[in-house]
Structure 1
Amino acid sequence: MAKKKKSLFRKFNDQIHLWLGLISGIVVFIVSITGCFYVFEREIKNAMEPWRTVKAQNKPFVPPSLLLDTANIYMPHIKPTGLTYGSKKGAAAVGYSYFKDDKQYFSVVFLNPYTGAFIKKQQPIGGNEFNFFQFIIDGHRSLWLPYTIGRPIVGICTLIFVILLFTGLIMWWPKKWNKTNLNNSFKVKWNAKFKRLNYDLHNVVGFYALVFSFILAVTGLVWSFEWFGNSLYYITSGGEVKLEHSHPHSDISKAHLYSNDSISALNRAWYMVISQESNMQGMYLSPTPEDKDDAIEIIVYQDSKTYYNRSEYYFDQYSLKPYRVKGDRYEEASFADRLSMLNYDIHIGAVLGLPGKILAFFISLICLFGRDVLTLP
């Protein structure tokens, strides 16, 4: 009787695996193939776009104001929304995100961080040139549909994919742990007929890739559903509620005391940060606070190829009083906050360097070519 119930359970599990696979198949295919390309975005861009790098020099970078003044010549009457410094070999970049006639635009001006000289202007969004990686990420996140439509579809299908991993594990699980079943479960029979070989590739290779596929799916779900990210934080923090990311506020009442400073507050804040971060590998600044009470935000990255190991600095834009917020330093953050910071780098494999990216590429490839076989000879 017990054996019969187990058989019925397996049949039910097999049907769930089959139909959920059919429902989510095309979406998983698109997400997987675009993920294969996006893993190496940084490496491909650096190889194909020489204006992203400069010759390293034994002198300090110029302050933000000089870069902004130069960039604004090429983007007149548009407010800059971001400024980045790279490593010693990386170009600085000023970004401009704006809307015109209900259409979104994004332009970047690349500059030499040692001299402030103009290098290149690029328009990844809204321009006439085809932007390959923007096309890839739009497909990966929303299937090239409007985000309000495509993003939930990707999220739901990714959630289905997680269920498929568990139903697939049940299908893989040997009924008896004898030598024959273990060989069938852990080894591909390369000299078998096509249908059997296809089954083994799906079943055996799928098992070896299961844990990594699960990690890629879960880190993707963090962006798809706010409730999922909050739930993951709650579990990993031991029951704490994830607070919304909020910036400190500047004291407007003291604005008049610093209105005649010859050096801008952004420059002063920048000098204060680099005096503490002598070995920074990248930096992001918000060049123009949107509101009068916004704080100056500067993020320093400790590694040129990842984003998780970072330190966030906040300053009153008038008095330059430094502020601290929960989780603003990776090295001091809790496990749950560190996991949140790691999410992107885990998702693309960058947390393990180039080997991790190669692994993420092949895991996406396995998800891409995964196929079920309905019957076996």
Structure 2
Amino acid sequence: MNKSRKLVREVHGIMGLLVGIVLVIVALSGCVYTFQREIRSVVYPHLLYVEAPKDMVRLSVDRISEIAEGYHTTTKVREIVVSQQADRSVKVYMYGQHLLYINPYSGVLLGKTDTKMDPFLMAWSLHTQLGMGKLGGKIVAWSTLACVPLLITGIWLWWPSVRSTWRKVFYLPWKGSWKFLNFQWHKNGGFYASVFLLFICLSGLMMSFNWFEQGVYWLTGSEQTSRHIPKAIATAREDEVIQKSLDYTLKQFSEVEEVNIFFPGKSNNVFMFIAKYEDKLGRREILYFNPDDGQLLQGVYSKERSMGDKVKAMNYNIHSGQIGGLLGRVIAFGVTLFAVFLIISGAVVWYQRKFR
């Protein structure tokens, strides 16, 4: 083995050992979160689904807000999520850690959960921050960055030096000693997985580092759409202002599937509506409304966004495999799970070479 190949192998092995534990936690928690929507619909149907009456008349969002604060008197409403599907409940996030599910037709409380104890939100916290807050987020970010040279050096080590061995490097054996199988599946299987893992890692870097995000805008030759939260305008207080704003949003963007309504808080004093489309492009409309009269103050629209903005909007769907639909998520799940095997099998290979 030449010196350069030996050096790359050492770098590959040591780097894998340094970030291995973090990557295992991130990968497994990511697998748990991949199908959280489908699992929730099976486990919590009594919270998510309602029977729509014949008249299909919903309570106003303002009324639902009042009902939520009546059920949960210790804190105020932080966010309300309204689905356009007739058989879905309304989700109300309270300040603190509680999430209420309310029937949009009757106002009945379907249930209340503690978001701190939600298994999928816990998985998301592990996936993005190791459950350690900002420090954990930085560890995950730098470990994700380390994955890129880890994958590149793996492909370099996999690359055959002799043409006659090309057929062998694509073959995944099923027979032989466990040591042989472990090494071949790590080497050859790692090549197949690395193609997808590279996209997952790069999309993760866009979420983690501002410089990487700016690099995407530079590569696409576009500028990031500026978004400044407007200030509220003092006017005469009107009734049903949230519903008025929602009606305007749905009239302008009738194809949206879900609207997240963020209430005025410490960082802003206006209502922020995020209207989401159910597509693979991650399209959304962002609108700001005056809290006194429900008038539109500002809008950031998907049709006006630059190419860099569109890539950023698609980034989560790329990271989670949703860009490819159900098949894409299955592939993302399988590849991410296989990454755990790569870390463990790589550690075994390194141990065998060093101590056996």
One fold, TM greater than 0.5? yes
- 1:330 and 2:302 equivalent? yes
Q: Which of 7, 13, 33 is the matching residue for 2:8?
A: 13
Q: Percent same amino acid among aligned pairs?
A: 27
Whether contact under 8 Å (1:189, 1:197) holds in the other structure is yes
CA RMSD of superposed structures (Å): 2.5
How far 1:137 moved relative to its partner? 2.0
What SS does structure 1 have at the residue aligned with 2:204? helix
- 1:64 and 2:61 equivalent? yes
Quick one: distance in 2 between partners of 1:57 and 1:352?
A: 35
**Structure 1 gaps, min length 5:** 99-105
Q: Which of 203, 212, 217 is the matching residue for 1:228?
A: 212
Q: Which of 155, 179, 189 is the matching residue for 1:205?
A: 189
Quick one: distance in 1 between partners of 2:76 and 2:50?
A: 26
Greater helix share, structure number: 2
Quick one: distance in 1 between partners of 2:293 and 2:119?
A: 44
Output one character per residue of 1:35-58: Cα deviation in whole Å (capped at 9) or x when no partner: 111111111112111211223455
Q: Which of 349, 358, 362 is the matching residue for 2:330?
A: 358
- Superposition pairs of residues 21-100 of structure 1, within 5 angstroms: 21-50=16-45, 51-57=47-53, 59-86=56-83, 87-98=85-96
How far 1:292 moved relative to its partner? 11
Quick one: distance in 2 between partners of 1:187 and 1:330?
A: 45
Quick one: distance in 1 between partners of 2:281 and 2:76?
A: 25
Counterpart position of 1:101: none
Counterpart position of 1:317: 291
Q: Which amino acid is 2:94 matched to?
A: Y
- Superposition pairs of residues 141-220 of structure 1, within 5 angstroms: 141-145=128-132, 147-178=133-164, 181-220=165-204
Q: Which amino acid is 2:250 matched to?
A: I
Counterpart position of 2:318: 346
Q: Which of 211, 216, 228 is the matching residue for 1:246?
A: 228
Q: Which of 267, 270, 281 is the matching residue for 1:295?
A: 270
Whether contact under 8 Å (1:247, 1:294) holds in the other structure is no
Output one character per residue of 1:95-136: Cα deviation in whole Å (capped at 9) or x when no partner: 0123xxxxxxx11111112333321122222xxxx4322332
Q: Which amino acid is 2:313 matched to?
A: M
What SS does structure 2 have at the residue aligned with 1:81? strand
Check 1:357–1:57 CA distance in 2 against 1; reply closer, same or farther (3 A cut). farther
Quick one: distance in 2 between partners of 1:141 and 1:292?
A: 23
Quick one: distance in 2 between partners of 1:265 and 1:292?
A: 20
Q: Which amino acid is 2:192 matched to?
A: Y
Check 1:76–1:169 CA distance in 2 against 1; reply closer, same or farther (3 A cut). same
Quick one: distance in 2 between partners of 1:209 and 1:139?
A: 22
**Structure 2 gaps, min length 5:** none
Output one character per residue of 1:226-273: Cα deviation in whole Å (capped at 9) or x when no partner: 33333333333x163x466432333x3xx24x23x3x23222111212
Quick one: distance in 1 between partners of 2:304 and 2:106?
A: 35
Check 1:115–1:280 CA distance in 2 against 1; reply closer, same or farther (3 A cut). farther
Quick one: distance in 1 between partners of 2:52 and 2:324?
A: 26
Output one character per residue of 1:207-235: Cα deviation in whole Å (capped at 9) or x when no partner: 11112101111222233333333333333
TM-score by length of 1: 0.84
